[in-house]
């Protein structure tokens, strides 16, 4: 019989966070049950106000997931059949899927090897007269430097829609991601830095007309009962999720600060090893949703960590242009986006969540050094960027 390995360091521990807020979360959920306002109503309105104030933007529209946030933002921006949208090749599948679901076509650009963010020089190679929008992704929780993206978008007259599914509570120059005024899409999937107790998402914007359009699109295009002015869908934010998110929002900054300290500890501890650690930007810029290291022997290191009770992940193992679903696209050739393809074989996400302990981080670091020693790997073997 196969022996079950004991997990010593989980990748994410949602129970720890739930237990720390158990009474508050239960009270909020019971309140929803008592009021029976299960869809829409005070809970959703309250969270939308709180999240907009937290981000520093006029409107936050609660929706059913990060994926629906992207789909509704694209629709509200008027994108559809015949339009191309530039998407970075290293992101979660939903970034491209949302583009396809509104009838537009994702066009993949390569990423920067240091930041893993969309590379504007690569975007220049794929932009055409059909290109109408670009979706920068604040990947791993590091806010994208928007200046080059803005210049590129201006030059080619493109709409910018930000994918902030992993970027809660951070930004550059004190401007939080989501406060730019543009359509910015958040996910509150349970494992995110601000996670619901199920699926949930939001779109933020400073544009009243776009916010109203998304409010309508998420609710069957309906401004009033049985009146339908647009073809929308059902992508409303659930009241229970809104209530849970309202409880959790005041803790987000302290959770992000803890993640950042864990990132510093990993970085210090792994400095002499064969793994390349990510850049540590100023703390306000990165929420370390994921702590992603690089090593040529990634698969063997991953197996070694798992054998020693340390869970880890790969974000993401297949670049979007090479996923099976996009094989029909002309650009889906191996070798076409070399940085994203190389990263996919080298990246490894180490355990990261606010409640991670110093002992768990030290154990993970020690286990990585054991692997390096047993494979004759030293700092000199670390890959160059």
| Stretch near ligand PLP under the rule CB under 6 A, chosen from 6-14, 60-68, 213-221, 368-376 | 60-68
Residue 333: CB atoms within 10 A of its CB come to 10
Under rule CB under 6 A, residue 189 binds ligand PLP: yes
Alpha helices in 56-170 (DSSP H): 66-76, 94-101, 120-126, 146-156
Tokens 């946030």 belong to: 69
Decide if 110 contacts 337 (C-beta within 8 A).
yes
Decide if 153 contacts 159 (C-beta within 8 A).
yes
Q: Which is nearer to ligand PLP, 61 or 137 (CB)?
A: 137
| Stretch near ligand PLP under the rule CB under 6 A, chosen from 26-34, 43-51, 65-73, 354-362 | 65-73
Residue 170 Cβ, how far from ligand PLP at the closest point, in Å? 14
Residue 201 Cβ, how far from ligand PLP at the closest point, in Å? 5
Under rule CB under 6 A, residue 163 binds ligand PLP: yes
Residue 20 Cβ, how far from ligand PLP at the closest point, in Å? 23
Q: Which is nearer to ligand PLP, 118 or 305 (CB)?
A: 118
Tokens 């355990």 belong to: 351
| Stretch near ligand PLP under the rule CB under 6 A, chosen from 59-67, 100-108, 336-344, 373-381 | 59-67
| Stretch near ligand PLP under the rule CB under 6 A, chosen from 50-58, 89-97, 231-239, 319-327 | 89-97
Among 17, 51, 61, 66, binds ligand PLP (CB under 6 A): 66
Nearest to 55 by CA among 289, 249, 288, 261: 249
Residue 197 Cβ, how far from ligand PLP at the closest point, in Å? 13
Cα separation, 232 vs 213, in Å, equals: 10
Under rule CB under 6 A, residue 165 binds ligand PLP: yes
| Stretch near ligand PLP under the rule CB under 6 A, chosen from 11-19, 62-70, 126-134, 225-233 | 62-70
| Stretch near ligand PLP under the rule CB under 6 A, chosen from 32-40, 86-94, 153-161, 244-252 | 86-94
Q: Angle CA(177)–CA(181)–CA(183) in degrees, nearest 5? A: 80
Q: Angle CA(248)–CA(311)–CA(254) in degrees, nearest 5? A: 25
Looking at residues 133 to 162 of the shown chain, list those that interact with ligand PLP (rule: CB under 6 A): 137
Under rule CB under 6 A, residue 94 binds ligand PLP: yes
Among 65, 180, 239, 360, binds ligand PLP (CB under 6 A): 65
- Output the CA–CA distances (angstroms, integers) from residue 63 to 133, 154, 156, in the order listed: 22, 29, 30
Could you tell me the end-to-end alpha-carbon distance of the chain, in angstroms, rounded to an integer?
A: 43
Under rule CB under 6 A, residue 195 binds ligand PLP: no
Q: Which is nearer to ligand PLP, 186 or 260 (CB)?
A: 186
Under rule CB under 6 A, residue 95 binds ligand PLP: yes
| Stretch near ligand PLP under the rule CB under 6 A, chosen from 48-56, 91-99, 337-345, 369-377 | 91-99
Residue 268 Cβ, how far from ligand PLP at the closest point, in Å? 27
Under rule CB under 6 A, residue 116 binds ligand PLP: no
Structure tokens at 152: 């590129």
188 φ, ψ (degrees, to nearest 5): -115, 35
DSSP per-residue letters across 163-197 = E-TT-TT-EETTEETT-SSSEEEEE--TTSSS--S
Structure tokens at 15: 């129970």
Residue 91 Cβ, how far from ligand PLP at the closest point, in Å? 5
Cα separation, 197 vs 165, in Å, equals: 16
Decide if 177 contacts 138 (C-beta within 8 A).
yes
Q: Which is nearer to ligand PLP, 146 or 372 (CB)?
A: 146
Among 17, 90, 119, 166, binds ligand PLP (CB under 6 A): 166
Q: Which residues of 111-146 are buried (b: 16+ CB within 10 A; e: fewer)?
A: bbbebbbbbbebbeebbeeebbbbbbbbbbbbbbbb
Under rule CB under 6 A, residue 91 binds ligand PLP: yes
Q: Which is nearer to ligand PLP, 65 or 287 (CB)?
A: 65
Binding site for ligand PLP (CB under 6 A): 65-67, 91-92, 94-95, 137, 163, 165-166, 187, 189, 199, 201
């Amino acid at each position: 019989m196969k022996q079950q390995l004991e997990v010593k360091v989980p990748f994410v521990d949602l129970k720890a966070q739930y237990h720390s807020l158990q009474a508050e979360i239960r009270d909020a959920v019971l309140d929803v049950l008592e009021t029976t306002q299960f869809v829409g109503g005070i809970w959703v309105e309250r969270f939308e106000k709180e999240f907009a104030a937290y981000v520093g933007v006029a409107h936050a529209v609660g929706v059913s997931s990060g994926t629906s946030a992207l789909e509704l933002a694209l629709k509200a921006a008027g994108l559809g059949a015949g339009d191309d949208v530039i998407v970075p090749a290293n992101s979660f599948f939903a970034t491209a899927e949302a583009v396809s679901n509104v009838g537009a076509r994702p066009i993949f650009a390569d990423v920067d090897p240091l930041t893993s963010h969309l590379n504007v020089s690569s975007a220049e190679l794929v932009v055409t007269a059909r290109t109408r929008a670009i979706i920068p992704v604040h990947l791993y929780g590091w806010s994208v430097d928007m200046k080059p993206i803005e210049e590129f978008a201006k030059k080619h007259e493109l709409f910018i829609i930000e994918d902030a599914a992993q970027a809660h509570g951070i930004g550059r120059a004190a401007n939080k991601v989501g406060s730019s005024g543009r359509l910015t899409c958040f996910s509150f999937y349970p494992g995110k830095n601000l996670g619901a107790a199920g699926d949930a998402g939001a779109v933020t914007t400073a544009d009243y007309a776009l916010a109203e359009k998304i409010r309508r699109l998420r609710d069957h295009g309906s401004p009033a009962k049985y009146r339908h002015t647009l073809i929308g869908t059902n992508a409303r934010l659930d009241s229970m999720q809104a209530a849970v998110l309202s409880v959790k929002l005041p803790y987000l900054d302290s959770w992000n600060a803890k993640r950042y300290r864990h990132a510093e500890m990993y970085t210090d501890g792994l400095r002499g090893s064969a793994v390349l650690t990510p850049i540590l930007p100023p703390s306000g810029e990165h929420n370390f949703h994921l702590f992603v290291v690089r090593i040529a022997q990634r698969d063997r290191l991953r197996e070694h960590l798992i054998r020693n009770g340390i869970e880890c992940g790969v974000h993401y193992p297949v670049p979007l242009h090479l996923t099976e679903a996009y094989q029909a696209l002309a650009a889906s050739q191996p070798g076409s986006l070399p940085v994203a393809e190389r990263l996919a074989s080298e990246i490894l996400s180490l355990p990261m969540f606010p409640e991670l302990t110093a002992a768990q981080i030290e154990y993970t670091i020690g286990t990585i050094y054991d692997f390096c020693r047993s494979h004759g790997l030293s700092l000199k073997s670390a890959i160059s960027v």
